[in-house]
Amino acid sequence: MTHATDQDRVLIFDTTLRDGEQSPGATMTHDEKLEIAEMLDDMGVDIIEAGFPIASEGDFKAVSEIAKRARNARICGLARANFADIDRCWEAVKHAEKNRIHTFIGTSPLHRAIPNLTQDEMAEKIHETVSHARNLCENVQWSPMDATRTEWDYLCRVIEIAIKAGATTINIPDTVGYTAPEESANLIRRLIETVPGADEVIFATHCHNDLGMATANALAAVAGGARQIECTINGLGERAGNTALEEVVMAIKTRNDIMPWRTGVDTSKIMAISRRVSTVSGFVVQPNKAIVGKNAFAHESGIHQDGMLKNRENFEIMRPEDIGLSGTSLPLGKHSGRAALRDKLNHLGYDVGDNQLKDIFVRFKELADRKKEVFDDDVIALMRSGENAA
Ligand code: KIV
Ligand code: ZN
């Protein structure tokens, strides 16, 4: 196992402000980044990857300012495998009480071809750059980009070099969302068993969602021994995005019987940060998105609404309050039944008898056939028109 003190504690590493911001069109302003970082810090995220300091003057300033303001979280910046990137990263994160340099290089055959390095040349570069980062900062994360498409022997070799050079966290990125859950678990498990020194470091998982498996892959990696999950709010990130923070955190909380781990996240803050990230990034959350979608705690059909009114556990496995919502919503539409209409009328202050309910239900169904959703004002209007006709 890869953790120093508490075997069940899984660190949450949020990269909304780095990988998330790399989504085309998701750029955030300086002030917006500070605001999101403060929300992440408040909700108990362990590590905030605040940006890529050498990428621009704006990124450098944002990471530096976030580092100065952080109260709880460790502040991390990203750096490629060269001294200039690493030095710039350190200049930004050094202001934080707890800081981290995250340096990476693409290790798969395809990625090695980009800088045109042989395996030996790349191994040497990894040794030099990780050692340099470790001389600046006592907390260094190293990532073999495209790890899941890197040859097994070479992957083991470069991880060993990074550990010997002083890396304290080894992140295993599934850069192109290529892996599957069983593979993800086995890869981490075998690395921990095979690489000398693996038990001295934390293994992390960084999954992309190209095949829709990022959350499953991240959780499988934890089952294999990873103790840091890299994720973003709303699953924002390159292409199809990263593992969604809200999904892994709520999966661990809800299915703790089979995933007996702990995070430090205050889940009641999830909805607020999801909405804020959506607003500042301009990325609308799809209505049926797990946990934070508009419909995640909404029930429209008659059978479901009736079941919910009798016992919410009939159709809900999580409490909406646990993510900061005020409650379940039972929107009225053409699939709704009498029980939900009566419940809505009661909430609006109307006490109707069975005959009156029968009459209003007929007119409600006529209206619902014409409208996607029947709102409170529509129900009030139906009541009033019924009263006027009487
Ligand atoms: O997806 C990826 O490989 C990355 C690395 C920089 C860790 O984001
Ligand atoms: Zn990534």
Amino acid 181: pLDDT = 98
Alpha-carbon gap, residue 33 to 162, rounded angstroms: 31
Contact present, 238 and 210 (Cβ < 8 Å) = no
pLDDT in tens, 365-388: 999 999 989 999 999 999 998 776
If you take atom 2 of ligand 1, which residue's CA is the nearest one? 175
Percent of the chain with pLDDT over 70: 98
Distance (Å) from CA 114 to ligand 1 centroid: 15
pLDDT at 267: 98
Q: Whose CA is nearest to atom 1 of ligand 1?
A: 175
- 314-324 pLDDT, tens digit each: 999 999 999 99
What band does 1 get if pLDDT is binned at 50, 70 and 90? very low
Cβ(208)–Cβ(241) below 8 Å: yes
Pocket flag, ligand 1, residue 145 (CB < 6 Å): yes
Supply the pLDDT for residue 3: 44
Residue 113 has pLDDT above 50, yes or no: yes
State both tokens at 43.
């909700």
Task: Answer yes or no: is the C-beta of 169 below 6 A from any ligand 1 atom.
Answer: no
Determine whether the shortest distance from the Cβ of 104 to ligand 1 is under 6 A: yes
| Ligand 1 within 6 A of CB of 334 | no
Mean pLDDT of 293-318: 92
User: How far is residue 104 CA from its own chain's centroid?
Assistant: 21
Provide the pLDDT for residue 385.
86
Spacing, Cα 197 to ligand 2 middle (Å): 25
The pLDDT of residue 162 is 98
What pLDDT does residue 149 have? 98
Residue type, 68: K
pLDDT at 4 over 70: no
List, as residue ranges, the binding site for Mn(2+). Answer: 19, 206, 208, 242
Confidence of residue 52 (pLDDT cuts 50, 70, 90): very high
Q: How far is the CA of 72 from the centre of ligand 2 (A)?
A: 24
Mean residue pLDDT across the chain = 96
Res. 340 pLDDT band, cuts 50 70 90? very high
**What whole-number distance in Å separates Cα of residue 222 and Cα of residue 188?**
8
| CB distance 102 to ligand 1 below 6 Å | no
pLDDT of residue 193: 98
What integer pLDDT is reported at residue 300 of this predicted model? 86
For residue range 175-223, list pLDDT tens digits in order. Answer: 999 999 999 999 999 999 999 999 999 999 999 999 999 999 999 999 9
> Rounded to the nearest whole angstrom, what is the distance from the C-alpha of residue 270 to the centroid of ligand 1?
24
- What is the number of the ligand 1 atom nearest to the C-alpha of 106? 3
Q: Tell me the average pLDDT across 79-104.
A: 98
Pocket test for ligand 1, best of 111, 206, 231 (most atoms within 8 A of CB): 206
User: Ligand 1: which of 16, 102, 143 to mutate, most ligand atoms within 8 Å of CB?
Assistant: 143
**What is the Cα–Cα distance from 46 to 167, expressed in whole angstroms?**
18
Residue 116 burial by CB count (10 A; 0-12/13-18/19+): exposed, middle or buried?
A: exposed
Please give the distance, rounded to the nearest whole angstrom, from the Cα atom of residue 230 to the centre of ligand 1.
10
Residue 2, pLDDT > 50, answer no
Alpha carbon 131 to chain centroid distance?
A: 30
Pocket test for ligand 1, best of 14, 19, 228 (most atoms within 8 A of CB): 19
Residue of minimum CA distance from atom 8 in ligand 1? 19
Tell which atom from ligand 1 comes closest to the C-alpha of 146.
3
Q: Which ligand lies nearest the alpha carbon of 178?
A: 1
